[in-house]
Amino acid sequence: MPRFAVTNPLPEPALELLREAGELRDALAGADAVLTLLSDRVDDAFLDAVGPQLRCVANVAVGFDNVDLAAAARRGVVVTNTPGVLDDATADLALALLLAAVRRLGEGERLVRSGAPWRWGMDFMLGSDLRGKRLGIVGLGNIGARVAERARAFGMAIAYHNRHESPAAAALGAERLELDELLAGCDVVSLHCPLTEETRHLIGAREMALMKPTATLVNTARGPIVDEAALARALAAGEIAAAALDVYEHEPVVEPALLGLENVVLSPHLGSATVETRTAMAELAARNAIAVARGEQPLTPVPL
């Protein structure tokens, strides 16, 4: 009978799948498959603690930068992730953050809650329209394409930067640009690329200096893609107009200089945080773990 373990509480439907397929253990040690979260560091020490019988690490996330793939490969451990099921929820959140930033909703809510006096006026807390503006997507994969679909409904033009042509680009009318050209020419830059050594601090002081002073930066991908200290300096100096972040470089710690700025919207990694999406993610991870434990091919393996 396969032995399964989870590092953190998961939605009950996923746990029920594991119970039906084998034994759901309280301890990681001795498990044939382990379901992990992006907050778990899956490295040599973790894999050794589970034991040599481990066959699968099922990461309940699209990203897998928390998993040492080389360490897993050395042990013959299959790593899986959960692409697809969270695309719409994350895209919704990206648009929510964008709207909050360009319409100054965070600033406005803080004003109302503070009890400070305010009065409607023609020049009171003016934001920006989205219609007619250009959205630059860094990483036009599944989530980036969903963001582009939503942005087109707001009347935005789409540009993107990928290493290769995106198959979604033609249907979206999206123009492929080099990164520097995209940064300089777009009104909003939204990040949807994976975190790798090449994308760590992809957006730093030099890149933000290329952006328009009226531009907004949105990050719902991974925190370390942005140099947060440089972002705080750029926002404070007016090099860019606003930013909206759902992920952080040293999560859950946020760069202190960002906390005092009015022109940044901050949310606590809520990209996939809907009941339906988190349940679907956990169920997909469970099905991956069950398949590997049975000697079958997983639904969504990560190439090692």
Which positions are catalytic? Answer: 222, 251, 269
Tokens of 233: 């300096």
Tokens of 86: 């969270």
Q: What is the 3-state secondary structure (H, E, C) of the chain?
A: CCEEEECCCCCHHHHHHHHHHCEECCCCCCCCEEEECCCCCECHHHHHHHCCCCCEEEECCCCCCCECHHHHHHCCCEEECCCCCCHHHHHHHHHHHHHHHHCCHHHHHHHHHHCCCCCCCCCCCCCCCCCCCEEEEECCCHHHHHHHHHHHHCCCEEEEECCCCCCCHHHHCCEECCHHHHHHHCCEEEECCCCCCCCCCCECHHHHHHCCCCCEEEECCCHHHECHHHHHHHHHHCCCCEEEECCCCECCECCHHHHCCCCEEECCCCCCCCHHHHHHHHHHHHHHHHHHHCCCCCCCECCC
Q: How far apart are CA 6 and CA 66, in angstroms?
A: 16
Residue that has been written with the tokens 């965070």 in this structure? 106
